[in-house]
Amino acid sequence: MEKYQAIVIIGLLYLGLLSPVLSAWYLAIVKGQNVKWRWLFPFAAPVVVYSIIGIATLILFVPFYFTALDVIPGQLEGGNEAPFWLPILEWFLIYSWYIVSVVLVVMSVWIAKYLWPHWQLRFGKNV
């Protein structure tokens, strides 16, 4: 039973990581029959989403990892107590892939609700 749970969790994680690509392809193929440059959307939309995630990773995750790898061991080695926020940091580091996966699913909704209508307005309909 636990083996199947792990497979389901890994499958949902990868589905979340691929959701911007899947939603962009769906919008371009199914919803964009008469939109010019629709073939470019499945490449441009995920690039935008993964760029935003990459910048957010540099701003948020890198400091957390730096703190967990450098600051906390130094404090504990020096005889100090662990900071009160250490359990929150550990939780964040353990579940970071799940957090990124959920954020990517939310960004897929953003692609459908915001980016696709702007793409249609910008490039218009084929005549």
Domains of the chain, residue spans = 2-123
The tens digit of pLDDT for each residue in 80-98 reads 787 888 888 888 888 888 8
SS3 37: coil
| C-alpha–C-alpha distance, residues 68 and 3, integer Å | 30
Neighbours of 16 (CB within 10 A): 19
pTM for the structure as a whole: 0.79
The tens digit of pLDDT for each residue in 24-70 reads 999 999 988 888 888 999 999 999 999 999 998 899 888 888 888 88
